Amino acid sequence: MNQVLLLDGATGTHLMAAGLQPGECPEKWLLASPEHQKVLIDLQVSYMKAGSDILYTPTFGANRVVLSRYGLGDQVISINQALAALSVRAREEAGRKDVKIAGDMSSTGLFLRPAGDTSQGEMEDIFEEQTIGLEPSVDLYILETQLSLAEARAAVLGIRKVSSKPIFVTMTVDAHHKTMAGNPLPVCMLSLASLGIEGFGINCSQGPEAFGSMLDELTRIRPHGMKLVCKPNAGMPTEKGFSMLPDEFATKVSQLPLRGADCIGGCCGTSPPYIEAVKAMTNAVLPDRDDVNIDGFACDERLIYDLDGYQIAEEKIAADSKLDNALFDLPPKIIPRIWIETEEQLDNLVEELPLLEVPVMLGAENEKLLSKAVHIYPGRALIDPDCVCPKWYHPAKK
């Protein structure tokens, strides 16, 4: 029998109410004094008493990029260790050994090449470093408020260099259900499923009334075992705060499991009374889920492809300087067999593949090159039958 998992609610607004100033580093503020730490611990204890099953560590922006703005870029590991330990203390004070602690990570604000200047390796290193600090204290990881599929993938791969614990990813999207980088939600889920994440969903973005239609899109292509995660705001921001009070918020959020959600909680504008109201109104037992066999679906950054309508090219295409011309000359509905022979050719993938609107088959001279290729490719690829697929990758299949 599957149960609805209850997440926690907002943290930042409560720290500001306790004295955190606009523009001040929340991580530094929390660690500045025992009094500040007590604010966080008391808040998290309140969330657990309200019914939260998963508690987020106060490490939302505790990565190298964000901490460097405050002169703390060389203290990432120690800061994450200290902040995660506060959540462990809160769990002990609440007497809730059953609560899982999630290492919370958010977006760096950087964009990967070719959209930005950050390399795949650099982005993975940023999240690997934060994971080292969190790993001793957490039971799972949640990448929240993700603004682009490319960064979310790099974050997952960075975590996997350190940890084998479950990873949930929640994106922030606009009214058209797309990220800031233009990635549709179902595409994000399918692409990240190729990396073996355990949960996917949406946080922040809008109020709970908008989440039902987003869940409808995701359930149409939900991979087997994938938990769907929803953490909406308390309505829309107003001059006096957010528009929804706890009961109205809970009335809407408690219906999300009927649309496919497995994990529900609150984002901006929520507090322990909101989570308590959600728990009181939610049927704890999840309805049966209809998972989808996603083997025959591939994707790039923006489109999902049903492979039934495609044929695989007979000849391989070298990922050399002539790759763009070769791809341009492809007939419709043909899947290119792109073959990587050298490290230098990986740069051609970065430049050329975002321009394609067809599914892609990747292959390489050796396992190391193939692994780097699927790190770089932002979608869900097929793997050439002449290669051995990396054990951690879940490719599309024709």
pLDDT at 284: 74
pTM of the model: 0.96
pLDDT digits (tens, 9 = 90+) for 188-209: 999 999 999 999 999 998 999 9
Q: Whose CA is closest to 80, among 6, 7, 8, 26?
A: 26
pLDDT at 288: 80
DSSP string, 323-386: HHHHHHTPPTTEEEEEEE-SGGGHHHHHHHGGG--S--EEEESSHHHHHHHHHH--SB-EE-TT
How many Å apart are CA 124 and CA 108, to the nearest integer?
A: 11
Contact between residue 108 and residue 22 where contact means Cβ atoms under 8 Å apart? no
Residue stretches of the chain with pLDDT short of 70: 1
- Cβ neighbors of 263 (< 8 A, separation 6 or more) are 4, 5, 6, 7, 54, 168, 199, 201, 227, 228, 229, 230
pLDDT at 1: 53
| Residue ranges of the chain that CATH labels 3.20.20.330 | 5-281
Helix (H) or strand (E) holding 144: strand 140-146
What does CATH list as the number for 5-281?
3.20.20.330
